[in-house]
Amino acid sequence: MITIKDIAKEIGISYTTVSRALNGKSGVSPKTVKKVLKEAEKMGYQPNAIARGLVKKYTNTVGLVIADITNPYYPSIARGVEDAARKIGYNVFLCNTNYDKDNEKSYLKTLQEQRVDGIIIHPAKDDLPSIYDLQTPMILINRPSHGGKTSTIEVDNERGGFLATEHLIQSGYKRISFIGGDVVSYSNNKRLEGYKQALMKYNQLIDESMIVHGSFKTKSGYTIMEKMLKLENPPDAVFAGNDVIALGVLHCAQDYGLNMPDAFGVVGFDNVQFSELPQIQLTTIDQPKYYIGKLAFEMLIEEIRNKEERIIKKIVLEPELIIRKTTQKR
């Protein structure tokens, strides 16, 4: 690996001058600049961001920690932050925790050790361990502020849950179940909260046997649905914690020959890519995923740039009900 010293030696000047020339700083004659640039090109010089980072104290790199890269929800967010980052010359370190608290911890640690300039995190679980007390600027997605010290961006999950459930009620379904993901997921519980509110608003009983938590996986949705079907009084509609779960519910309902959407309705959450497939046409709650990612990055950059007088922000985005074919029209 060739360094600025090598190229300095080659053209017989000090490496300080080479550094200045390479960085387009003033105080170097145009002639020298040209010579340096040419030589650097010729020798195949690759700047060492490590060495630079050591002295400059920033790396132009941010970390993005997500739970599940195979759930299309997260890639959409990732695309948003990536695009925004690239636009101003930042790189993003994408970390996939696979819903595992330990992985998350380990990534957070590494990210800090690598001295990323900031971290955007969409935590898997609700409880934020002490590792979240980081010096590095941090933005939380779809999670409450960590001790009021971090800015957050979220969709109004409660409102989304309300919208979904209300739609089911208004569509005439009588026994609406909530099949959620992780019990300790903040967004999951907010959605459940919305579900309960809708039920209450329309004077329906909240039947705890109709509320089940599993994991944010299609398989979980299927399994839980199958169990519910064996109840003496099974649901005639399901509000699923997210689209991935909804997919499993759909699958199960189909396997058991339920007549959709007339006799059985399903609403998801996220409005993930596959939901709009003609074969699926899942009614769901949309959240502006790409935009959330973009905004999260912009908030992060702001924090990075104003490290001293940072202002804790909380952005809440409005969810939107997308009616498709897994619920009946009124």
Partner DNA sequence: ATGAAAGCGCTAACAC
Partner DNA sequence: GTGTTAGCGCTTTCAT
* 41 is a site residue for a copy of itself (CB under 8 A): no
Restricted to residues 84-113, the positions that interact with a copy of itself (CB under 8 A) are 86, 91, 93-96, 98, 103, 106-107, 109-110, 112-113
Contact between residue 297 and residue 88 where contact means Cβ atoms under 8 Å apart = no
Q: Which is nearer to DNA, 3 or 204 (CB)?
A: 3
Tell me how far, at minimum, the Cβ of 194 lies from a copy of itself, in Å.
27
* 75 is a site residue for a copy of itself (CB under 8 A): yes
* 23 is a site residue for a copy of itself (CB under 8 A): no
Restricted to residues 21-40, the positions that interact with DNA (CB under 7 A) are 22-23, 25-29, 31-32
* 13 is a site residue for DNA (CB under 7 A): yes
Q: Which is nearer to DNA, 13 or 317 (CB)?
A: 13
95/99 Cα distance (integer angstroms): 11
Restricted to residues 133-192, the positions that interact with a copy of itself (CB under 8 A) are 135
248/119 Cα distance (integer angstroms): 32
Contact between residue 156 and residue 217 where contact means Cβ atoms under 8 Å apart = no
Structure-block tokens of residue 209: 């046997």
Tell me how far, at minimum, the Cβ of 59 lies from a copy of itself, in Å.
7
121/7 Cα distance (integer angstroms): 41
Residue type present at position 28: V
- Main-chain dihedrals φ then ψ at residue 67, nearest 5 degrees: -90, -35
Given 5, 9, 38, 174, the residue binding DNA (CB under 7 A): 5
| DSSP letters for 126-156 | S---GGG--SS-EEEESS--STT-SEEEEE-
Contact between residue 216 and residue 184 where contact means Cβ atoms under 8 Å apart = no
218/248 Cα distance (integer angstroms): 4
* 43 is a site residue for DNA (CB under 7 A): no
- Beta-strand relationship, 320-322 and 284-286: antiparallel
Question: Please, which residues have CB within 8 angstroms of residue 158's CB and are 6 or more apart in sequence?
Answer: 190, 191, 193, 194, 197
Interacting residues toward DNA by CB under 7 A: 1, 3-5, 12-17, 19-20, 22-23, 25-29, 31-32, 47-48, 51-52, 54-56
Interacting residues toward a copy of itself by CB under 8 A: 1, 46-51, 53-54, 59, 61, 69-70, 72, 75-76, 78-79, 82, 86, 91, 93-96, 98, 103, 106-107, 109-110, 112-115, 135, 247, 250-251, 254-255, 273-274, 277-280
